A and B are shown apart, each in its own frame.
Chain A
Amino acid sequence: MQVRAYPFAEPDDLGVNGTYLELQRDEPVARVRLPYGREAWLVTRYADAKVVLADPRFSRAPVMDADYDPPRTMPEVPGITTILSMDPPEHTRLRRILAKAFTARRTGQLRERAQEIVDGLLDAMEEQGPPADLVDALAMPVAITLISEMLGVPALDRVKFREWSDAAVAITAFTVPEIEAGAAALRAYIRELVEDKRQNPADDMLTVLVHAHDNEDRLTEEELVSFGVTLLIAGHETTGSEISNFVYQLLTHPDRLAELRADPSLLPAAIEELLRITKLSGAPGFPRIATADVELSGVTIRAGEAVFVDGLVANRDPAVFPNPHELDFHRPHNPHFAFGHGVHHCIGAPLARMELQVSISTLLNRFPNLELADDVVFKKGRLVRGPERLLVRW
């Protein structure tokens, strides 16, 4: 069996490298070699992806075993357990502490605040006049402001962590020492902030985590710090990039954009479809380890072997999504894996949906003649993809 070097080259836009689609058709369970060592399986079909993401025979926890060297998309940052490297019931213990804060109901209550933030940013953008870079003018500030307010990160600190975070989620875009330094700086920062919340409790998620540690013994200090770092990174890199990505997708699909402008009730379906089709991840960063022999599409995965799943490739499986490469706002059923599946399904999914809906709809309403003002270059070599800049005029 051929072993392919992985991750595959990233296209210049938000599409999927053709090798994924060939594998999905001809070799749905393939061998790949990772940039930071070792080989693994790569699964590309929807049905197989679902098993790997949700079946308890696939585990995340072994990646933290001292004597296990997992295949890596990213360099090793030693000794740090995050919620993404845990299985139930350990995972459930941590997740439950904040699950409530992220439900659709709770994040719905933040919609007004999101609207206020978006309105303020677009006021400033309009005042400054075209062209504007939507990455800096809208996308990143919306995502950073909301997750920072939820976590309790002071406004003044928000510039600092963006640089660290950028390096911390790199695959190849930074050197290993730079990636490690970014991760370490974020950790030190959250550790300091946790100490501050201990002295000055507030109505925010870091305070909830501190309380869960100090008063309820529900997580360790290290788990607390890791959780804070994970939420800070995941809470803004992803949504911030997707706001820009979705604007790009709409401006480069004028028929779909016109359709959405003509019928704003399509917005929720449009956001789901953009989530499905946009290749947000450069490569999946979190392999699952089989704890028993499992057969996938006729191939036996042996206990102890690692499997990578890219849900965004599974999102283009024609067995589930007819005409998978078409942007179609009228799919009757759109069970995409943009937020993952199973216990690690993105805790922030309802928040992300709300932010995306508010940002995209407000932008389109305010600027009926919005268009790209320059070629768009997408970042490469990172877990999360998005444009370097997104220059628009109106």
Chain B
Amino acid sequence: MSRWTVGVDRAACLGTGMCTSIAPAHFRLDGGTSSPVSTDVEPDDAVIDAAESCPMEAILVRSADGEVLAPQP
């Protein structure tokens, strides 16, 4: 299966801990904001859950061909 790319907009991130708690394998908090453990990941619903739950919509998940998987508009 093709891989996904994960990005966090650190200017928008407020460090709520939402993504790091929902998908601890994929996000970590450092310096008060979140960053992806890896920007290139195997497909995992937890990453989508984290992106859809972020109040700042600061997490962007794309498929290998660039399609935005989350957050949905």
Partner-B contacts on A (CB < 8 A): 50, 53-54, 56, 88-89, 92, 95-96, 99-100, 102-105, 333, 335, 339, 341-343, 345, 347, 349-350
CB–CB B21/A56 < 8 A: yes
CB–CB A54/B17 < 8 A: yes
Known: A96-B53, A103-B55, A105-B57. A53 touches B16 (CB 8 A): no
* Bound CA–CA A188/B38 (angstroms): 47
Name the residue of chain A whose CB is nearest to the CB of B12: A104
CB–CB A342/B18 < 8 A: yes
* Bound CA–CA A350/B72 (angstroms): 18
CB contacts under 8 Å to A, within B4-63, are 15-18, 20-22, 24, 29, 32, 46, 49, 52-57
Q: How large is the interface on B (under 10, 10 to 19, 20 to 34, 35 or more residues)?
A: 20 to 34
* Bound CA–CA A56/B57 (angstroms): 22
Residues on B with beta carbons closer than 8 Å to the beta carbon of A349: 16, 55
Known: A95-B53, A99-B53. A88 touches B22 (CB 8 A): yes
| B23 nearest CB across to chain A (Å) | 9
Our pick among B17, B57, B71, B72 for the contact of A342 (Cβ within 8 Å) is B17
CB–CB A92/B20 < 8 A: no
Partner-A contacts on B (CB < 8 A): 15-18, 20-22, 24, 29, 32, 46, 49, 52-57, 71-72
* Bound CA–CA A105/B49 (angstroms): 18
Residues on B with beta carbons closer than 8 Å to the beta carbon of A104: 55-57
* Bound CA–CA A96/B48 (angstroms): 10
Complex A-B: 10 CB contacts under 8 Å: A50-B17, A96-B49, A99-B54, A103-B56, A341-B16, A342-B17, A343-B21, A343-B22, A345-B16, A350-B56
Residues on A with beta carbons closer than 8 Å to the beta carbon of B52: 96, 99-100
CB–CB A333/B32 < 8 A: yes
* Bound CA–CA A315/B18 (angstroms): 19
Residues on A with beta carbons closer than 8 Å to the beta carbon of B32: 333, 335
Name the residue of chain A whose CB is nearest to the CB of B16: A345
Residues on B with beta carbons closer than 8 Å to the beta carbon of A341: 16-17
* Bound CA–CA A92/B44 (angstroms): 14
| A309 nearest CB across to chain B (Å) | 13
* Bound CA–CA A254/B57 (angstroms): 37
Name the residue of chain B whose CB is nearest to the CB of A335: B32
CB–CB B55/A335 < 8 A: no
Name the residue of chain A whose CB is nearest to the CB of B50: A92
Q: Which of A333, A345, A347 lies at the interface centre, i.e. has the most chain B CB atoms within 10 A of its CB?
A: A345
CB–CB A92/B17 < 8 A: no
Residues on B with beta carbons closer than 8 Å to the beta carbon of A103: 54-57
Q: Which of A54, A92, A349 lies at the interface centre, i.e. has the most chain B CB atoms within 10 A of its CB?
A: A92
Nearest first, the 5 A-B pairs at minimum CB distance are: A345-B16, A342-B21, A342-B17, A343-B21, A54-B17
Q: Contacts A96-B52, A349-B16 given; 17 further ones with Cβ under 8 A?
A: A50-B17, A89-B49, A92-B49, A95-B53, A96-B49, A99-B53, A99-B54, A100-B72, A103-B55, A104-B55, A104-B56, A104-B57, A341-B17, A342-B18, A343-B18, A345-B17, A347-B55
* Bound CA–CA A333/B32 (angstroms): 9
| A108 nearest CB across to chain B (Å) | 11
Q: Which of B16, B46, B55, B71 lies at the interface centre, i.e. has the most chain A CB atoms within 10 A of its CB?
A: B55
* Bound CA–CA A103/B53 (angstroms): 9
* Bound CA–CA A95/B19 (angstroms): 13
| A355 nearest CB across to chain B (Å) | 15
| B57 nearest CB across to chain A (Å) | 5
Residues on B with beta carbons closer than 8 Å to the beta carbon of A345: 16-18, 55
Residues on A with beta carbons closer than 8 Å to the beta carbon of B53: 92, 95-96, 99
